[in-house]
Amino acid sequence: MNTSPRALHHIGCGTMCLHGGRLISGAGSLLGTARIICHCLLVEGAEGLVLVDTGFGLDDMRNTRQLGLIFDTLFRPQAREAETAIEQVRALGFAPEDVRHIIATHLDVDHAGGLPDFPDAQVHVLGRELKAAMHPSWRERQRYVAAHWAHGPDWVQHEPEGDEWLGFESVRILPDSDAEILLVPLIGHTRGHTAVAVKHDGRWVLHCGDAYFHHGEMQTPAYCPPVLGAFQNLSSIDNAARRQNSERLRELARRSDAEVELLCSHDPATLARYQDSAGA
């Protein structure tokens, strides 16, 4: 079986412009605007497209208030319909129906917004994340937006069953596809947060979702802008697990034999590096 998809696109499906400058972005002026993005992957497989995370959707862009007053005010999502996954799928010459599978690292407001734009796709998620989103605790209520699944997605719930990948638990999904794709559960940011590993051209790309926020966190010694670090501590449902998983990822990033590239959802420098190398 061919185990490499034909193409792997790195697409930014949302932009947020926060107040806080260098304290959030690690660069620029102290009090300027800090830009963070929603890094998604679009995998071209033989049987159709697979989307890893969806960022914001069309409805979010037409009315950013549906993302919640606090989120809208603090994160200041920019209303840019052209950045949505559905518009970028069309710009690449595909139809929205070509997206057969969506894999959600988790279902937070800034990751699941595009689900309604692909109502026919199967949506793969860890079972405990779906449970959290459908039955959020008081503390979790602000992170999930029910409008993102009001259309009744075709959920596919996954659970780890003992498989291992580079020392991490893993779940192979789409076993009949030519694309080799694994869920790599990294609990902490949310109850059922997972990374997603995609094999491409003989190497693994590990989309770590919100397991970390800044590329400096994967360097040794690690660096994270202070406000971004505080936000991660405060927003995690299990911060001890998140910190432990972050350390494990840093060890993975140090391994020269692993042939794996790590990326996260919100780091604009990482997305720019991929898009520059693709000539986009």
Task: Calculate the CA 4 to chain-centre distance.
Answer: 21
> Which is nearest to 151 in space by CA: 123, 125, 128?
123
> Which is nearest to 142 in space by CA: 191, 109, 110?
109
- Contact letters (x/-) for Zn ion, 212-231, by CB under 5 A? --------------------
First to last CA, the chain: 30
Number of residues in contact with Zn ion under rule CB under 5 A = 2
The distance of closest approach from Cβ of residue 74 to Zn ion in the complex, given in angstroms and rounded to an integer, is 13
- Contact letters (x/-) for Zn ion, 6-45, by CB under 5 A? ----------------------------------------
The distance of closest approach from Cβ of residue 260 to Zn ion in the complex, given in angstroms and rounded to an integer, is 21
The distance of closest approach from Cβ of residue 177 to Zn ion in the complex, given in angstroms and rounded to an integer, is 26
Residue choice 210, 218, 236, 237 for contact with Zn ion (CB under 5 A): 210
**Three-state DSSP state, 95:** coil
**How buried is 280 (Cβ within 10 angstroms: 0-12 exposed, 13-18 middle, 19+ buried)?**
exposed
- Sheet order of strands, 154-158 included: 7-19, 33-45, 48-52, 99-103, 122-126, 154-158
The distance of closest approach from Cβ of residue 161 to Zn ion in the complex, given in angstroms and rounded to an integer, is 27
Note whether 59 binds Zn ion by CB under 5 A: no
The distance of closest approach from Cβ of residue 121 to Zn ion in the complex, given in angstroms and rounded to an integer, is 20
Measured in residues, the chain has a length of 280
- Contact letters (x/-) for Zn ion, 103-132, by CB under 5 A? -------x----------------------
Give the residues lining the site for Zn ion (CB under 5 A).
Answer: 110, 210
